[in-house]
Amino acid sequence: MAVKAEILNEESINSNFNGGAVLIVNDALYDSVNTGSTIYYTLPGPTLFKGEVSVSDGALTGNFIVPKSIRFENQNTGRLTIYAWDDENNASALGNDKSLLFLGSTNNEDPDGPDIDIYFENQESFNDGDLISNQPVLIADISDENGINITGETGHIISLKLDDKNPKDISGYFFYERNSYTDGYIRYPMDKLDPGLHTLKLTAFDNVNNISEQTINCKIAADAGLVLMNVVNYPNPFRARTEITKFTFEYQTQDDRDAEVKIKIYTIAGRLIQTIE
């Protein structure tokens, strides 16, 4: 589904407005929601899309895919909200349409779920089993040609499971990349983790409800000012005059600061022959 909008300056388009805009699309309203009292509320429907688009010369165009998991309410109460900004001119704009009717998506025979890549903030090169901070920010890049289901519908949520604990619904942390309705990311600040080995499993669905799961392992070091692990060099042994050996190590600090590392190389007899800082 395509969305087109213009930033107006009174009655005409503001052609000097350049920047970005956030598009949020909600399904049909929930009517007469009882929160346990005698007062009933009308609440926005589930989020169908949340992403960012570019604004050029006062105009913007965005696209999104209507998920299979809509409420199928025959009501024109779906909502599109747009918030736009122009940093250079210190300007902003807001608009909405509260009369959208969602009838569902077309049939799609794609059998594959989303692609998922998990890592952590400041650890883009994370490998399975690496050390991480004890209070990490999990980042997951998620993409699918049919878009990602972020409605939070029971049975089709984006969930994160830590070890043997109950999965958490983190659908609300998903955000599409700018000008995309297929690629997005999760940025989820996790609670403090205990020292030791942990297993994380992230589950996501595309908009036609194909499922994908990604499982990783990570390690949390015991509390200390600095923890150094897995210090090795390869090849070992090696011929100093004809070969090169490389040193690798893992470290973790309590405040995630860079560490100053000094490597000292000794002979088998215990004589220091080189220091590398």
Measured at the CA of 12, the angle between CA 10 and CA 14, to 5 degrees, comes to: 90
Is a pLDDT exceeding 80 seen at residue 234?
A: yes
Residue 225: per-residue pLDDT: 63
- For the entire predicted model, the pTM comes to 0.80
Per-residue pLDDT, averaged over 220-234, amounts to: 74
Q: What is the pLDDT of residues 42-90, one digit of tens each?
A: 888 999 999 999 999 999 999 999 999 898 888 899 999 999 999 999 9
Question: CB burial class (10 A; 0-12, 13-18, 19+) of residue 270?
Answer: exposed
